[in-house]
Amino acid sequence: MTGRWRPRGPRTLRLRLTLGYGAIFLVAGLALLGVTYVLFDQQLTRSFEDRFVAAPGLHKQFFIVNGDVQLTGDAAVEWLRRQELELRGAAGTSLLAQGVLALAVVGGAAIAFGWVVAGRMLAPLHRVTDTARRIAAAPLAERGLHERIALEGRPADEVKRLADTFDTMVERLDHSFDGQRKFVANASHELRTPLTLNRALVELAMHRRTASPDVKELGESLLEINARHERLISGLLLLARSEQEIADRSPVDLADVVTHVVRQTAGDAAAAKVTVYEVAGQAPVTGDALLLERLVHNLVENGIRYNLDDGSGWVRVVSRTVADGKAQIEVSNTGPEVPPYEVPPLFKPFHRHGAERVVTARSAGLGLSIVRSIAVAHGGDVSARPREDGGLVVTATLPRARQ
Q: List pLDDT tens digits, range 49-67.
A: 665 554 455 455 555 555 5
Query: What angle do the packed helices 73-137 and 13-53 form, to 10 degrees?
Result: 170
Residues pairing with 313 in the sheet: 274
Give the other-Cβ count within 10 Å of 299's Cβ: 28
pLDDT for 48 equals: 65
Quote the CA–CA distance of 174 and 400 in Å, as a whole number.
29
**SS3 (DSSP) at 384:** strand
363: left (phi over 0), alpha (psi -120 to 50) or beta: beta
Q: pLDDT digits over 120-169, tens only?
A: 888 878 788 888 787 777 655 455 667 777 777 667 777 788 888 888 88
**SS3 (DSSP) at 12:** coil
Q: Is the pLDDT of residue 279 over 90?
A: yes
Q: Are 329 and 261 in contact (CB under 8 A)?
A: no
Give the mean pLDDT of 366-384.
84
Among residues 283, 310, 314, 309, the alpha carbon closest in space to that of 296 is found at 283
Question: For residues 26 and 231, which has the higher predicted lDDT (pLDDT)?
Answer: 26
pLDDT for 394 equals: 94
pLDDT for 328 equals: 93
Q: Is the pLDDT of residue 13 over 90?
A: no
Q: What are phi and psi of 292, to 5 degrees?
A: -65, -35
Quote the CA–CA distance of 125 and 121 in Å, as a whole number.
8
Give the mean pLDDT of 33-53.
74
Q: Of all residues in the chain, what percent carry a pLDDT higher than 90? A: 16
Q: Of all residues in the chain, what percent carry a pLDDT higher than 70? A: 76
pLDDT for 314 equals: 94
Question: For residues 213 and 394, which has the higher predicted lDDT (pLDDT)?
Answer: 394
* Single-letter amino acid code for the residue at 206: M
pLDDT for 255 equals: 94
Q: Is the pLDDT of residue 171 over 70?
A: yes
Q: Element (H or E) spanning 386, and its range?
A: strand 381-386
How is 242-265 classified by DSSP, letter by letter?
HTS-----EEEEHHHHHHHHHHHT
Confidence bin at 258 (pLDDT 50/70/90): very high
Question: For residues 25 and 240, which has the higher predicted lDDT (pLDDT)?
Answer: 25
Q: pLDDT digits over 102-130, tens only?
A: 888 888 888 888 888 888 888 878 788 88
Average pLDDT score, the chain: 78
Q: Are 107 and 22 in contact (CB under 8 A)?
A: yes
Question: For residues 91 and 363, which has the higher predicted lDDT (pLDDT)?
Answer: 91
Quote the CA–CA distance of 296 and 261 in Å, as a whole number.
7
